[in-house]
Amino acid sequence: MSFSAFEHSLIDFFKKEELQKDYCIACSGGLDSVTLFFALKKISPIFKYKLKLLYVHHGSSPEKTGQSEYRDKALSFVEKLAQDHSVEFVSSKSEVFLESEEDCRNFRLKALSYQKNVLTAHHKDDFLETLIIRMIRGSGPQGLSEPFKEKSLKPFLGLFRRDQIKEYAKTNGLNWTEDPSNKSLDPLRNWIRNEWLQALDHKAGKDGFAKSLMLISEAMSELKSVEVEKSIIFESETKGFIHLENWLVFDRFQKQSTIAHILLKVRKTGYTYGQIEEVVKQLDQIKKETTFRSGKLTWLKSRSKVLFDLDL
């Protein structure tokens, strides 16, 4: 069996991985995840793994909105895709209609957590867009070091851009569903994707910019890992503390990194630079003991510790 250059890149990727017997592809029915499934099905005889498809449905609306109809259509599309290729199909559907990006993301992350060996179709452009959004919103160094919340294997991430994936899909005659919300310029990501990055590509090319951001992300990953993580004691998934003596000797960057790390690990959702700054400002006040709420967490500064708790 002959393989294309695109497929050979994936073959080389999996040769470097600790291969599993089964993989679950999170498939929305869109271009990226359908292409990932097709390409991995094509090279599967080499590795002898089994694939299954997971569709995460963010809920239906009785008003039959365009988004609700699209979700039902995508569910049927992915289920038929699995049937046509004789692979297992599973789905997870929200009981309520989810509208906000944060609610959809939280539900999706929960659905993925129930599966083993999850594969997602994040690619180079997703990485670039996410880091730009994090920088615009001022999410701090932690946000640049961990751009994706999904705990998944991402074969496309270091290999392909969106146009390369689309070219492969068209060459192989693939069909996919189009999310109507992607055509709107209202969400920040869509504006960055459809307007800003296209203008950047035309003026100066975005490949160099993407490589620079990737280096920054890798550097942030290294910087955050040593003193910051050692200083935080997690008593559970929702609470913990920092020894005050450590906080007092940290410089501003270390303090920001510490708070960003706590917000990311406890909240598991987005946060802003302003929230980080507010927590740092409150903790740096002269008052020896204080309690306040910021970043959706309750903070208590005692004589020896800085305690944080999501549920208070």
* pLDDT single digits (tens) 187-199: 788 888 888 878 8
Question: What is the CB neighbour count within 10 angstroms for residue 212?
Answer: 10
Domain boundaries, position 29: 5-123+149-200
164 in the same domain as 235? no
What pairing do the DSSP bridges indicate for beta strands 50-57 and 88-93? parallel
In a domain, 105, yes or no: yes
In a domain, 135, yes or no: no
196 in the same domain as 260? no
Instruction: Assess contact for 132 and 192: CB atoms under 8 A.
Output: yes
Instruction: Assess contact for 248 and 286: CB atoms under 8 A.
Output: no
In a domain, 211, yes or no: no
282 in the same domain as 165? no
In a domain, 206, yes or no: no
88 in the same domain as 160? yes
- What is the pLDDT, as a whole number, of residue 290? 84
Residue 95 has pLDDT above 60, yes or no: yes
Residue 121 has pLDDT above 90, yes or no: yes
In a domain, 133, yes or no: no
Per-residue pLDDT tens over the stretch 241-280: 998 888 888 887 788 878 888 887 887 666 677 788 888 8
- CATH code of residue 195: 3.40.50.620
In a domain, 130, yes or no: no
70 in the same domain as 31? yes
153 in the same domain as 23? yes
95 in the same domain as 237? no
Write a three-state SS string for 6-27: HHHHHHHHHHHCCCCCEEEEEC
245 in the same domain as 175? no
- CATH code of residue 268: 3.30.465.60
- What is the pLDDT, as a whole number, of residue 11? 95
Mean pLDDT of the chain: 85
Number of domains in the chain: 2
